[in-house]
Structure 1
């Protein structure tokens, strides 16, 4: 059975003020076509479907239309991430049309979505875990324990996986043969590489879950980290992050965005029970390249910037003094520039001088010291003259008030 794994759509997100809904829609069109062309039996979306708890109307409409289109070709299983509102995403889950499953309740973590194999093999059990906030889930998952679980991601994910393994053992025993299993989880698993785009989920100073927590299942479909990457799990378990379909910060500009298609073998075909084939990565459509160019303004306006004129680009100008009309000149050649910064190259460190400011201090001396601290250079005589004139006018206005 072929399963498509995706996550972290962040519908409704912008990139430095650029509305991404058109590009997100293009990715979802690609996803529907990939589901059809690759003979995918199920699409699993591992959290952060929306970018915020109360998404814009356009994002809600886009999700609704996409899920309906996907369900024409495959089963669809969706869980909320730490950006989503589980209540809002899960609203109406019990009355959705057949083939669409939204699992948003912590109480359901041990109850799988059972996927029927269109080729007649045993079913695939998908345990769809919503994002488990330790402050909430430590009580909901404590079972008969007198006290809540420990306040950590490891504690609540461990409890959820104990429920998963218990249910899986019962179903395997009842079936009298091995069954195949997938766990969807939105978490930071040890060994994953983060970017600047993920919202911090640290609790008590710790934000990660050991990979060993997921032992005993065939495939772990992870969400949360935006870089597509494989994670080392215990023997017999394969898993990875699908990553986000678009870059949502400049820290992601070197990511190769993709969607995962994985095949779970029929245990009866001679391979290891629940054997997972090598995940296939299908490149996601890139609306516009994300890049950064650093150097003196003349270089950026010349050869160094030539290959990046059509990119979403961060331009960092390193001239010692800020060039006049810097932004105007850059915007003329880089119409899609998202960030323009003046960041002078590091200079030789100066000896730090501590200046005590009192009511008797000359305000021009104080301002001169501040300029030197910020820029690394003493202000010119012309700049000092401007500062002195400004303070004298301020003092005169205060006296006449």
Structure 2
């Protein structure tokens, strides 16, 4: 059996205020083409199908189109909910979808009741474990201590192993969590842990032939049989160096036979450019990035006037601008208020102001000359008044 492991579609998510539906639609069309070309039997989608518990109507349309394209390509689909999804909304009419070959698993009470799909070697059991919030699922298993993600996932996998021991055969588990050995992308994956208590040990996933994880947006191989596929689109500049794609998993009669990475296209590349603003605006070495999503970090000591408008004249898809001065003045230990209070002349007050608004850069020699002329003119004018 050939399986494609994908996750974290985050349908409806924006990228620095820009809609991503069109780009995601194109990427998922490519994924459906890979399903057809590589003879995939089952696509597993490990949570965070939507980016919101209340997705807009267009998000449902995109999901319908993507699932229909995968089914037309010849594969069945097993879907679980993630921490961004509303399990109730995603699981709506799940029994009817199953008749069409799309198996949506969002109910914790049925996580040990697998979707069973046969191939020439016999059955393969797919255990869809939805995102399990301990405080919500605790009443389902009152005899268990479920305070953390690790405890909750451990109990869920114990139920899976108990069922598998009775059924026998090959198996695949889907789950959505932080697993040991993984660091989240800052500002991207919504926090579902407290300190290190909710990191799920790798040993929890013992048992199935393959474990398809979701939640982390970059691909990762925790072991030969436990992996993250990551998101199909880049949703943050923190992800820009992480490839996009999915895992192609082969099972033979004995179990896991091989795993291959299938890359997906990047509709618009992401790049972080760091230089003084004049170089960003004029240097030819940046010309290759003029059609990219750009995070511009200008290194001038002083903040620049209207940097986004100026940068977008060259980089129309500049998404964010960061002032990252290459030279940062040492902290004098005095606050702006204290410097103004201690100033005894207008020159010292102006110095304090410019030093404050320019992140440590006071007036240049030329500016000092001009300020001296202006202050002298004011003194003369007051004397003649």
- Decide: shared fold, TM above 0.5: yes
Looking at structure 2, the residues matched to 286 and 51 of structure 1 have their Cα atoms a distance apart, in angstroms, of 19
TM-score by length of 1: 0.84
Looking at structure 2, the residues matched to 199 and 346 of structure 1 have their Cα atoms a distance apart, in angstroms, of 34
Q: How does 1:163-242 map to 2 (within 5 A)?
A: 163-172=159-168, 179-196=169-186, 197-203=188-194, 206-232=197-223, 238-242=225-229
Residue 243 of structure 1 is matched in structure 2 by 230
Looking at structure 2, the residues matched to 290 and 102 of structure 1 have their Cα atoms a distance apart, in angstroms, of 33
Runs of at least 5 residues in structure 2 that lack an aligned partner in the other structure: 375-385
Looking at structure 1, the residues matched to 290 and 200 of structure 2 have their Cα atoms a distance apart, in angstroms, of 42
TM-score by length of 2: 0.87
Runs of at least 5 residues in structure 1 that lack an aligned partner in the other structure: 173-178, 268-273, 387-401
Residue 260 of structure 1 is matched in structure 2 by 247
Runs of 4+ in 1 over 4 A off after TM superposition: 354-357, 364-371, 379-386
Looking at structure 2, the residues matched to 140 and 370 of structure 1 have their Cα atoms a distance apart, in angstroms, of 62
1:70 CA drift (Å): 1.7
Residue 267 of structure 2 is matched in structure 1 by 287
1:211 CA drift (Å): 0.4
**Worse-matched range after superposition: 155-164 or 197-206:** 197-206
What is the Cα-based RMSD across aligned positions, in Å?
2.6
Looking at structure 2, the residues matched to 366 and 264 of structure 1 have their Cα atoms a distance apart, in angstroms, of 74
Structure 2 residue 325 is matched with structure 1 residue 338: no
Q: Deviations over 1:60-88 (max 9, x none)?
A: 11111221232231111100101001111
Looking at structure 1, the residues matched to 303 and 110 of structure 2 have their Cα atoms a distance apart, in angstroms, of 58
Q: Deviations over 1:270-299 (max 9, x none)?
A: xxxx2x133111111110110010011222
CA contact (8 A) 1:198 1:224 kept: yes
2:300 to 319, 340, 346: 319
What SS does structure 1 have at the residue aligned with 2:333? coil
What SS does structure 2 have at the residue aligned with 1:139? helix
2:355 to 365, 372, 386: 372
Looking at structure 2, the residues matched to 67 and 211 of structure 1 have their Cα atoms a distance apart, in angstroms, of 31
1:342 CA drift (Å): 2.7
2:117 to 115, 118, 134: 115
Looking at structure 1, the residues matched to 195 and 322 of structure 2 have their Cα atoms a distance apart, in angstroms, of 35
1:152 CA drift (Å): 0.5
**Worse-matched range after superposition: 92-101 or 163-172:** 92-101
